[in-house]
Each structure stands twice: as structure tokens, then as C-alpha cells.
Amino acid sequence: MKFTRIAATGLAAAGLVAGGAVLASPASADTASTSPNGAYWPVLRQGQTSENVRALQWFLSCEGYEQPAPSHYGPKTTANVHAFQLRFLTWGRDGNVGAYTWRALLGDIPSTGYGQRGDCVKGLQVLLNKWRYNDDLPISGYHGSRTKAKLVRFQGAHGLPANGVVDLRTYQKLIATPAGR
């Protein structure tokens, strides 16, 4: 198991202990919209459609959980999220994506930096296209100069270091900020 996923699982457990809550199934579902550090993450469930769902599906594919054509959070996405949760979370393994699943999934995504290719980059491009800026990116899976420029512009507009490096804070802002803001 990768170190960051172990750490994310530990943070989830620590958050429960610190909060004094003892959760049991089914109340232990990952429907928390805030993580232990207070960051907001939207909760995704079966039946939803959105750019966040589409990005989630590319990130799952990047992690080896193959998805059909992205856009709808259906039974296949639920099954893939559940399989991911069984592997990387100690609780909240219900197929919903809340703060703990987002952090476990994105905390150890392979590099989506300049020059990289793959489904992880497609997820990043989908999220960047939520902010139109009159220059929608093709979902090519290649992190070239257009993807980097749009990423730097987004980071600068949202109080993040405008360095073109995608970290967990950048992903959180991309996912949590409503489109167009």
C-alpha cells in the first residue's frame, strides 16, 4: 500500500477519534464533506452527473479501475469506488465519494505534471475546463503548454501558488469550487 494512502487512512481514523465519534455501518459511509484539516470536498453518489463525476471516473481509470465512457455515476462507477475504498480505506466503504475517498484517491495520483500523459491528466483537464476562460482544453490526456497555462491561471485566481504543479490543495480547489468562479 502506498505511504500517502496509509497516511490518509490514518488521518481518517484520527479524525474520528479526535471528534469523539464512534461510527458503525451504515452510518460510517463516506459522506463527510470536510476532511480533518477542514477542507471542503463535495460528496458524489450514484445517479449524479457533473464534471466532478467525469473527473472522478478518469482518476479511477488512472488507478486501474477501468470505466466506460465517463459522465454518469452509475453502477460501474459505484462498484469501482467501492473496490478502491476496500483497498485503501478502513471505513466508509460504501461507493460514495466524500472527503476521505477524495483524499485517498488524489493524495497519491501519479504525476500530472508538464509533459505527462494518461487518464490522470484527462481528469485534470476535465476539472480545468470547468473554468471556461474562453479556451476549453481538448481531453487529450497530454499535459502540454495549454494545460499548464490554464492550470497556472486557475491557481493564481484561487490563491494557490501559480507554479503549474498539481498538488492536493489544487485538486481540492478544482473540485470544490463551483464552475465559473
Last residue of a domain, one of 73, 106, 139: 106
Based on the fold, state whether residues 71 and 123 are members of the same structural domain: no
Minimum mean pLDDT range among 15-19, 118-122, 147-151: 15-19
CA distances from 63 to 67, 156, 165 (A): 11, 29, 20
Based on the fold, state whether residues 93 and 156 are members of the same structural domain: no
Which range of residues forms the domain containing residue 159?
A: 119-176
In a domain, 23, yes or no: no
Based on the fold, state whether residues 56 and 100 are members of the same structural domain: yes
Tens-digit pLDDT profile for residues 73-113: 999 999 999 999 999 998 878 999 999 999 999 987 877 88
Structure confidence at residue 135 (pLDDT): 77
Number of domains making up the chain: 2
Minimum mean pLDDT range among 81-85, 141-145, 177-181: 177-181
pTM for this entry: 0.81
Query: What confidence tier does 29 reach under pLDDT thresholds 50, 70, 90?
Result: low
In a domain, 29, yes or no: no
pLDDT top residue among 130 and 33:
130
In a domain, 87, yes or no: yes
Structure confidence at residue 4 (pLDDT): 47
pLDDT top residue among 118 and 70:
118
Last residue of a domain, one of 84, 106, 128: 106
Average pLDDT over residues 26-33: 61
